[in-house]
């Protein structure tokens, strides 16, 4: 599924018609054509960054060449070649259970010019993305969000959460395991490739994870054009006693007038073993002349809290991170393995229609799902919105909690059974932005 070439899929006619009715043009953008640079300028402006330099634009092109770029144009404008709406999307893999992946339609760069906001441009673009993804057979769409208020209306809902972590190193004091392997600096020009290699192993085991890409890793490594901190980026890798690289931490250290209170910011810490995770955290927490360590996109309850003498030296601020949208209920539910058998009829309400219906969900003794539609007359055990189903899918939240919030309903006994079945083997986590 993830190998589908989304660039060959046709433009959604419903969206094209909706936009044409407002005098707007919906079009695909060729990353190697003349329309690329204005497209990229519009994206950057939408996300409130400065005008991209030639180098930045060319660097972004390396990534966007692999993406399906779609734009909305107001040809009557002063700069008719600059889109008033942008979106990019691509087929990726979502890890649903350790070692198990499914195809997902990833969406990014959703931006509407502030001169054209609240006229339904995002609505047309998002509708086009969802219809194109569903028609191509994707059971799920996913995105990360700037604001929590935007995407619920299109059936997206948080499915993985992540913590921003701040650690007072003076209070923390390492009490965790001490890895038997070794730490070495990674040469600057090798950092991006080495992050990619570790992350590729990590993401296959972690529910909620998706693959990174070269441009993402160049950005983390500080080697992408326009990174003002780029020359401060350092990386240290952990190798186990067999000499195999097991993890990497990429960081910068900010200047401070008081030389003993520097702040170390972790740009990435990926480890595919517990000893590598502990060794890399110990390295940053015991770094000389550093008083504070910060890191983003860590586990909701970061394991490092258990590895220091004073857990309150670790402040973890939780936020929703990855939002999922179920497009095909049988496909989405069959994409993961489960922790206990189950037999229930779930009624899913989806105002956009994709997932709407009643579904007989059976999970066998091996934890595999078979999901079939049932007629409206059949007895329904549980009702939930498509948003709630997206949140529940990876087991990052309990259905009993969603029921408390009024997003699902059913007998307590049935809801508890669903929670036992959906309990994840590992807490879902998306450890990058996309
Ligand atoms: C968010 C954004 C794409 C919305 O585009 P838009 O074309 O103005 O949105 P639409 O006119 O299609 O709005 C559709 C609906 O979403 C609502 N909506 C749009 N933006 C919203 C926001 N930021 N917060 C809450 N609701 C929002 C509209 O009110 C409308 O609601 P309705 O269904 O009740 O009528 C645009 O404001 C933008 O580009 N923002 C900056 C970049 C950004 O944050 N992008 C999102 C990346 S994850």
> What DSSP element (H or E) covers 371?
strand 369-374
Rounded to whole angstroms, the Cα distance separating 397 from 22 reads 41
Where are the strands (E) in 74-207, listed by range?
Answer: 85-97, 100-112, 140-144, 157-168, 182-185
Domain ranges of the chain: 6-155, 162-319, 329-422
> Of 127, 126, 131, which Cα lies nearest the Cα of 108?
126
pLDDT tens for 96-106 read 999 999 999 99
Cβ neighbourhood burial of 239 (10 Å; 0-12, 13-18, 19+): middle
**Four-CA torsion 239, 242, 246, 247, nearest 10 degrees:** -10
Query: Ligand 1 in contact with 149 (CB < 6 A)?
Result: yes
Q: Phi/psi at 424 (nearest 5 deg)?
A: -80, 150
Query: Ligand 1 in contact with 122 (CB < 6 A)?
Result: yes
- Cα–ligand 1 centroid distance for 122 (angstroms): 6
Q: What pLDDT, on a 0 to 100 scale, did the predictor assign at position 414? A: 98
Q: Can you tell me whether residue 428 is helix, strand or coil? A: coil
Q: Which of 18, 26, 122 to mutate to test the pocket of ligand 1 (most atoms within 8 A of CB)?
A: 122
Q: What pLDDT, on a 0 to 100 scale, did the predictor assign at position 257? A: 84
Q: Which residue has the tokens 């095909």?
A: 328
- Cα–ligand 1 centroid distance for 430 (angstroms): 24
Q: Which atom of ligand 1 is nearest to the CA of 113?
A: 39
Q: What is the DSSP letter of 289?
A: T
Query: Ligand 1 in contact with 120 (CB < 6 A)?
Result: yes
Q: Which atom of ligand 1 is nearest to the CA of 47?
A: 42
Q: 329-422: CATH homologous superfamily?
A: SCP2 sterol-binding domain (3.30.1050.10)
Query: Ligand 1 in contact with 150 (CB < 6 A)?
Result: yes
pLDDT at 236 over 60: yes
Rounded to whole angstroms, the Cα distance separating 8 from 10 reads 6
- Cα–ligand 1 centroid distance for 4 (angstroms): 29
Q: Can you tell me whether residue 295 is helix, strand or coil? A: strand
Query: Ligand 1 in contact with 118 (CB < 6 A)?
Result: yes
- Cα–ligand 1 centroid distance for 120 (angstroms): 8
Rounded to whole angstroms, the Cα distance separating 129 from 14 reads 11
Query: Ligand 1 in contact with 228 (CB < 6 A)?
Result: no
pLDDT tens for 405-422 read 999 999 999 999 999 999
Query: Ligand 1 in contact with 123 (CB < 6 A)?
Result: yes
Rounded to whole angstroms, the Cα distance separating 256 from 243 reads 36
Q: What pLDDT, on a 0 to 100 scale, did the predictor assign at position 93? A: 98
Instruction: Please give the average per-residue pLDDT across 246-258, as a whole number.
Output: 94
The CATH number that domain 162-319 falls under is: 3.40.630.30
Query: Ligand 1 in contact with 146 (CB < 6 A)?
Result: yes
Query: Ligand 1 in contact with 153 (CB < 6 A)?
Result: yes
pLDDT tens for 132-148 read 999 999 999 999 999 99
Q: What is the token pair recorded at 234?
A: 């350092």
Residue nearest to atom 3 of ligand 1 (CA): 111
At 378, is the pLDDT very low, low, confident or very high (cuts 50, 70, 90)? confident
Q: What pLDDT, on a 0 to 100 scale, did the predictor assign at position 3? A: 63
- Cα–ligand 1 centroid distance for 235 (angstroms): 38
- Cα–ligand 1 centroid distance for 29 (angstroms): 22
pLDDT tens for 214-224 read 999 999 999 99
- Cα–ligand 1 centroid distance for 433 (angstroms): 20
Query: Ligand 1 in contact with 333 (CB < 6 A)?
Result: no
Count of beta carbons in the 10 Å neighbourhood of residue 301: 14
CA 95 to chain centre: 11
End-to-end CA distance of the chain: 19
Query: Ligand 1 in contact with 237 (CB < 6 A)?
Result: no
The CATH number that domain 6-155 falls under is: 3.40.630.30
> Which residues, 6 or more positions from 335, have their beta carbon under 8 angstroms from its beta carbon?
94, 96, 100, 102, 139, 140
User: Do 6-155 and 162-319 have matching folds?
Assistant: yes
Q: Which of 88, 119, 150, 156 to mutate to test the pocket of ligand 1 (most atoms within 8 A of CB)?
A: 150
More confident residue, 256 or 181: 181
pLDDT at 255 over 90: no
Rounded to whole angstroms, the Cα distance separating 391 from 140 reads 12
Query: Ligand 1 in contact with 112 (CB < 6 A)?
Result: yes
pLDDT at 1 over 90: no
């Amino acid at each position: 599924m993830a190998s589908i070439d989304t660039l060959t899929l046709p433009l959604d006619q419903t969206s094209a018609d909706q936009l044409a009715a407002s005098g707007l043009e919906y079009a695909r953008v060729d990353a190697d054509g003349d329309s690329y640079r204005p497209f990229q300028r519009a994206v950057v402006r939408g996300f409130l960054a400065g005008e991209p330099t030639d180098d930045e634009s060319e660097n972004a092109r390396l990534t966007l060449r692999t993406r399906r770029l779609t734009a909305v144009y107001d040809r009557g404008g002063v700069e008719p070649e600059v889109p008033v709406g942008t979106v990019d999307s691509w087929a990726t893999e979502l890890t649903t259970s350790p070692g198990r992946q499914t195809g997902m339609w990833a969406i990014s760069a959703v931006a509407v010019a502030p001169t054209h906001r609240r006229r339904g441009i995002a609505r047309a673009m998002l509708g086009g993305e969802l219809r194109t993804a569903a028609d191509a057979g994707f059971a799920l769409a996913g995105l990360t969000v700037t604001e929590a208020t935007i995407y619920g209306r299109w059936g997206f809902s948080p499915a993985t959460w992540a913590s921003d972590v701040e650690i007072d190193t003076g209070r923390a004091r390492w009490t965790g395991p001490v890895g038997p392997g070794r730490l070495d600096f990674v040469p600057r020009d090798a950092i991006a490739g080495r992050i990619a290699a570790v992350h590729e192993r990590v993401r296959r085991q972690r529910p909620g994870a998706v693959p990174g890409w070269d441009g993402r890793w160049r950005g983390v490594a500080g080697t992408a054009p326009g990174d003002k901190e780029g020359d401060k980026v350092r990386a240290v890798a952990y190798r186990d006693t067999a000499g195999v690289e097991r993890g990497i931490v990429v960081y910068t250290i900010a200047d401070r007038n008081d030389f003993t209170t520097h702040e170390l910011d972790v740009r990435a810490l990926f480890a595919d073993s517990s000893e590598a995770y502990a060794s890399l955290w110990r390295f940053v927490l015991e770094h000389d002349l550093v008083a504070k360590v910060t890191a983003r996109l860590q586990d909701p309850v970061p394991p490092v809290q258990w590895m220091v003498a004073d857990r309150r030296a670790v402040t973890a601020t939780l936020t929703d991170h990855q939002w999922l949208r179920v497009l095909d209920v049988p496909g989405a539910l069959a994409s993961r393995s489960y922790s206990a058998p189950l037999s229930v009829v779930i009624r899913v309400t989806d105002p956009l229609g994709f997932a709407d219906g009643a579904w007989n969900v059976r999970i066998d003794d091996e934890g595999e799902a078979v999901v079939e539609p049932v007629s409206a007359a059949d007895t329904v055990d549980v009702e939930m919105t498509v948003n709630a189903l997206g949140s529940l899918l990876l087991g990052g939240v309990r259905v009993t909690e969603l029921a408390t919030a009024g997003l699902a309903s059913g007998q307590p006994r049935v809801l508890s059974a669903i929670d036992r079945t959906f309990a994840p083997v590992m807490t879902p986590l998306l450890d990058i932005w996309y």
